[in-house]
Amino acid sequence: MTRLSVNINKIATLRNARGGNLPDVLKAAKDCERFGAEGITVHPRPDQRHIRYQDVYDLKPILSTEFNIEGNPIPDFMELVLAVRPDQVTLVPDAEHVLTSNAGWNTKTHHRHLKEICSILEAAGIRSSIFVDPDPEMVRYAVECGCRRVELYTEAYASGYQENREAAIAPYVRAAEAAREVGLELNAGHDLNLDNLRYFKTCIPYLAEVSIGHALISDALYLGLETTIKAYLEQLAE
């Protein structure tokens, strides 16, 4: 079964636009769980333009599903995750001022650094996942870093889906097969939506988790949060 982890960054973005606590990020996270989400994802960035570090501290004690924290393992981020101890930390190589994540790790070039980070996380009882492009070589070097999962960066798949979905999915199938060969569990995320999710899941049926935020929250503006989460779960159904 593939878990749906809802990324609630966009809810925090809306709150931060006006200050105050509307919408309530904590309530939204609990509602996502109540409506069937099997995990909550946040991606705090240094400028705290959406999820704030304090949100992460506040979320941990109230969640009943898996808690996944994404981010670049700079010192402040590592201090945060080691204090909060979520179920999973997804390591993402985003620069400080990027609008959104736009590349996976080069696990060969950054092998030593990632291995050190994964070792720290594993010692703290936190499952480590490395965000990678759909490249079998990057997957194979990832396992040598000591992570337990890789998350495939799916923007290229989403961009190419309408024109030629078979060509768009092909590199992801190869990367997923490489992950299975080396014993890594598999996550996926970025620009997955109600149009392209079922095909991705059908072609890669052994996905452990998908993390979806922007599209899901956008759909919820029209469909409502409960209906939207149920719709995404239906796309993941066996």
Unique residue bearing structure tokens 């409506």: 35
pTM: 0.95
Can 111 be counted among the known catalytic residues? no
The residues that bridge with 5 in the sheet, in sequence order, are: 39, 211
Can 190 be counted among the known catalytic residues? yes
Do 116 and 156 touch, CB atoms closer than 8 A?
Answer: no
Integer Cα distance of 43 and 9 in angstroms: 7
Confidence label for 94 from pLDDT (cuts 50, 70 and 90)? confident
Confidence label for 102 from pLDDT (cuts 50, 70 and 90)? low
* Dihedrals phi, psi of 217, to nearest 5 degrees: -70, -35
pLDDT digits (tens, 9 = 90+) for 30-74: 999 999 999 999 999 988 889 999 999 999 999 999 999 999 999
DSSP conformational letter for 62? G
Q: Which of 33, 70, 151, 209 is catalytic?
A: 70
pLDDT digits (tens, 9 = 90+) for 166-222: 999 999 999 999 999 999 999 999 999 999 999 999 999 999 999 999 999 999 999
Q: Which of 33, 50, 151, 190 is catalytic?
A: 190
Is residue 103 predicted with pLDDT exceeding 90? no
How many residues are listed for the chain in this entry?
Answer: 238
Do 231 and 26 touch, CB atoms closer than 8 A?
Answer: no
Q: Which of 43, 50, 151, 209 is catalytic?
A: 43
Is residue 130 predicted with pLDDT exceeding 90? yes
* Dihedrals phi, psi of 97, to nearest 5 degrees: -110, 15
CATH number, span 3-236: 3.20.20.70
With vertex at residue 89, the alpha carbon angle to CA 85 and CA 94, rounded to the nearest 5 degrees, is: 130
Can 50 be counted among the known catalytic residues? no
